[in-house]
Structure 1
Amino acid sequence: MRSLTLEQLQSLTLADVSGRPDWCRVRLARQAEIDALAGPIGEGNDRGIISDWRMIALDVMGQPITLVLLGNRGRENYGTSPIVMIDRASGKVRTRSRSIYTLAEIGEGAPPVEHVLHLCALLLHWGWGPALNLPEVSY
């Protein structure tokens, strides 16, 4: 894992997340990737509303692209486990862990640095730190 200065952390972008861009790229999801997960949500645990959200693609060489949702849940920065189904008509998503989230307003443009830092902490929690040479972020 790599250490970054405070200045570097304050300007962190999705493109900066992976220290191994030859192996994994972290970026905004493409519409076709989002559309590929369209379908009925089914049963699950309602976990609340995500606002200022963006779908993030974890594009690991040789693997299917994984989408996660970053945004705000109440006043907190929030990230989900991988998305497995998206129902745009109902405005809901279901994750691999069977959690269901309601989508409020979509965020515009690149995610704020707070969301990017939260993504780093989430990926570290999942054990991806060494493989991606992630910046060390925890809170």
Structure 2
Amino acid sequence: MTRSEPSTEPGAGAAHRCVRQLRLVVEAEDYEQAVAFYRDVLGMPQEAAFAGDGEARVTILDAGRATLEIANPAQKRMIDDVEVGRQVAPRLRVAFEVEDTAATTGALVDAGAMQLAPPTETPWRSLNSRLEAPAGLQITIFEEL
């Protein structure tokens, strides 16, 4: 896999950067389980929590640096093949960088995630595992090697 340089196309310059934060909003049928999984087990610090009318609740967790990774269908298939050995990912998959993929994967499985693939070294020199996690998310846990 080759890496390209940052774009020099219009809109790519610092003067055009207007996005300050990426928030991924996920509906969770079992809200308490999802909050405990991502906050307490995965270790995402809680920034805020709000409650509203009709039992409405939201918890905002800090995910560190965020990126939006846009892949074409061939790249999505290749990542599935490398990480899992077969096509399993839905259109949206969330990846979390951690210090220790193996330990984090074990803790997440113990907390109720289903492991789809164990930690696997990728051609781009990261150690990735794939899980089905609370709130209906498929997640990749990775550490840079």
Q: TM-score, normalised by structure 1?
A: 0.25
Q: Which has the higher contact order (CA 8 A, sep 6+)?
A: 1
Structure with more of its chain in strand, by fraction: 1
Q: TM-score, normalised by structure 2?
A: 0.24
Query: Based on CA coordinates, which of the two structures has the bigger radius of gyration?
Result: 2
